[in-house]
Amino acid sequence: MRLLVTGGAGFIGANFVQDAVRDGASVTVLDALTYAGSRESLAPVADRIRLVEGDVCDAALVSSLTADADAVVHFAAETHVDNALADPAPFVQSNVVGTFTVLEAVRRHGVRLHHISTDEVYGDLPLDDPARFTENTPYNPSSPYSSTKAAADLLVRAWVRSYGVHATLSNCSNNYGPYQHVEKFIPRQITNVLTGRRPKLYGAGANVRDWIHVDDHNAAVRRILADGKAGQTYLIGAQCEQNNLTVMRTLLRLMGRDPDDFDHVTDRAGHDLRYAIDPSTLTDELGWKPVHTDFEDGLRNTIDWYRANESWWGPLKEQVEANYQERGQ
């Protein structure tokens, strides 16, 4: 299969591309190589892919690459909630206009699309309620990031209905694993410890996230690409709800530190309380199941990866922490 992978030099995209190439796919990556994208993340498969440095909003470029693909997997996006709060403009451009551009290209060339989205489009859930997100949960995004992802999802749904575009969508929970940018919660804390900084917890740390290993997310995407129903949305999650305080204390313990050796810092504006995914459609319809079900084991392997790959994240760390310091975080 010839795949065009947008955002394939980012965290989830690079892991997806590495797996897809090993599975025998022919892959072209389109990535703007923003601060979040990196050629090094594709180094293990560099000589087996085509990497095009370009913007997903460039209609002529996206159209010509799409014409040569059997399917487009659309990961490209601005993805960090704190950055969106500081400056939402690139999120509107890359996430909304970028998705519109991809949709017009797949419509023109009759190419299959899988659109990657997030559980954050559903807003948040109360802490003291067993309810979880399903495919029927109404959209209710809270942040500039999640509202642009919601807008993108709605465009995809409209292009399916109005133009018969062959697209599937997936909305996944919080990913962790190798190649995640050090601005994100888990790698930030690991690399804070590795660089002699104190880890930083927003507010009291009661907010709950539903963690999934990036390889499990990507295995689900491959299942959907193979057998997903056109127009269908699939929720991807590994049923691993944890509050941030617990994750922080676990990371510190696994790294041989005092579990309370961290700072409480200014909370995120509008901070979503809890995300939780009900993945039944995916498990019942497509038989997908997560493999990395031992979260501590996954965290241990992730810590090992960051220990072994300082050359990948080291050059990013100083700038990220300077940005956080400016925002009191």
Q: Where are the beta strands (DSSP E) in 156-310?
A: 167-172, 174-176, 200-202, 208-213, 233-236, 241-243, 263-265
From the list 31, 104, 119, 124, the catalytic residue is 119
Note the residues at the interface with ligand DAU (CB under 6 A): 79-81, 118-120, 173-174, 184-185, 188, 200-202, 207, 209, 244, 268, 275
Of 161 and 327, nearer to ligand DAU (C-beta) is: 327
Of 107 and 181, nearer to ligand NAD (C-beta) is: 181
From the list 122, 145, 179, 275, the catalytic residue is 145
Q: Should residue 118 be labelled a site residue for ligand NAD when binding is judged by CB under 6 A?
A: yes
CB 211 within 8 A of CB 242: yes
Tell me the window of 1-9, 239-247, 273-281, 295-303 that interacts with ligand NAD (CB under 6 A).
1-9
Q: Is 139 a catalytic residue?
A: no
Distance CA 294, CA 212 (A): 10
Q: Should residue 298 be labelled a site residue for ligand NAD when binding is judged by CB under 6 A?
A: no
Q: Is 145 a catalytic residue?
A: yes
Name the DSSP letter for residue 68: T
Distance CA 135, CA 278 (A): 9
* Tokens describing residue 74: 């659309």
Name the DSSP letter for residue 277: B
Contacts for 270 with CB less than 8 Å, ≥ 6 apart: 85, 142, 143
Of 120 and 153, nearer to ligand DAU (C-beta) is: 120
Q: Which of 74, 77, 55, 96 is nearest to 4 (CA)?
A: 74
Q: Should residue 116 be labelled a site residue for ligand NAD when binding is judged by CB under 6 A?
A: yes
- Burial letters 68-101, b for 16+ CB under 10 A, else e: ebebbbbbbbbbbbbbbbeebeebbebbbbbbbb
Task: Report what 300 binds from ligand DAU, ligand NAD, none; CB cut-off 5-8 Å by kind.
Answer: none
From the list 120, 215, 241, 272, the catalytic residue is 120
Task: Report what 94 binds from ligand NAD, ligand DAU, none; CB cut-off 5-8 Å by kind.
Answer: ligand NAD
**Which residues are identified as catalytic?**
119-120, 145
What residues make contact with ligand NAD under the rule CB under 6 A? 6-7, 9-13, 31-34, 36-37, 55-57, 75-79, 94, 98, 116, 118, 149, 172, 174-175, 181
